[in-house]
Amino acid sequence: MKLREVVESLHLSVRSGEDRLDQAVTGGYAGDLLSDVIANSKAGNVWITMQVHVNIVAVAVLKDLAGIIIVQGRQPSEETLKKAKEEKVAIVVSDAPAFETGGRLYTLIDGSS
Amino acid sequence: MEDRFSHSFTIRGKHFIDAGKVSTEIKRLLKELGVRADIVRRVAIATYEAEMNVVMYAKDATVTLELTPRDIRIVIDDRGPGIADIELAMQEGFSTATSEMRELGFGAGLGLPNIKKNSDDFKIGSTVGAGTKLEITVFIN
């Protein structure tokens, strides 16, 4: 499944990485503790989080994540967006909370395999 | 003659805007040098955690990356407050992070344990009031 399909199905708004939407999504990982995400997420995962600060970009780059979904309609900081553009990381925003976003993503990915 | 690649980097403490830069550079370098993806990933996790510790607690640090056909060695030598009780700092869940850092998702108390888990050999030495030195080795085969 491509990130684009996730964005469309979950009605997410793309804040950076418009040109990264054809990336394959292998699954998801949800968490707000950066050490947990860096240790346990897998390459190609989308990361569901409510963190919006600039350091989320490095985590996504280091773990080759397919993108970051920020939940609860929270907006990435300007610094975050700037860094995400430099590093070509897709950041999308979900208006729904993490539980709902994760549930929908799980159903979508599970249903497609 | 043995093939050896070596490179040094500097991390600035409290400079959150660039936090993760050195680990990202190391990851890119290793990838370019053709190191296997799973090894690059382990090194990336270990160096990221070490880098964040420097950014959160220390003044600055010198990072040395050394690559031989056998292993990757990363030494992070910081000027900072040091760690009084290393055994305690190595325990999962122990953290001295401030509430501001925790709100940003740091300070889970997983940094040093994550480094150890992703290293084949890990050494840590510290002098309170002077700094901390980490030596991380990851075998290539």
d(CA A102, CA A30): 7
Which uninterrupted H or E stretch holds B31? helix B21-32
Full domain range(s) for residue B122: 5-139
H-type alpha helices, chain A: 3-9, 34-40, 55-62, 78-87, 98-112
| Torsions phi, psi for B73 (to 5 deg) | -125, 130
Look at residue A113 in the predicted model and tell me its pLDDT.
Answer: 61
Q: Residue B99 sits in a domain of what CATH number?
A: 3.30.565.10
Domain ranges of chain A: 3-112
Sort out which chain A residues have CB atoms less than 8 A from B23's CB and list them.
Answer: 58, 62
Give pLDDT tens digits for B36-80: 999 999 999 999 999 999 999 999 999 999 999 999 999 999 999
Interchain contact B117–A (C-beta under 8 A): yes
Q: What superfamily would CATH give domain A3-112?
A: HprK N-terminal domain-like (3.40.1390.20)
Give pLDDT tens digits for B92-139: 999 999 999 999 999 999 999 999 999 999 999 999 999 999 999 999
Size of interface A-B (CB pairs under 8 A): 64
Question: Is residue B44 within 8 Å of residue A62, measured between CB atoms?
Answer: yes
- What residues contact A107, with CB distance under 8 A and at least 6 apart? none
- A58 to B41: CB separation less than 8 angstroms, yes or no: no
Measured between CA atoms, how close is A63 to chain B, in angstroms?
Answer: 7
Mutate to test the interface with B, among A38, A50, A83 (most CBs of B within 10 A): A38
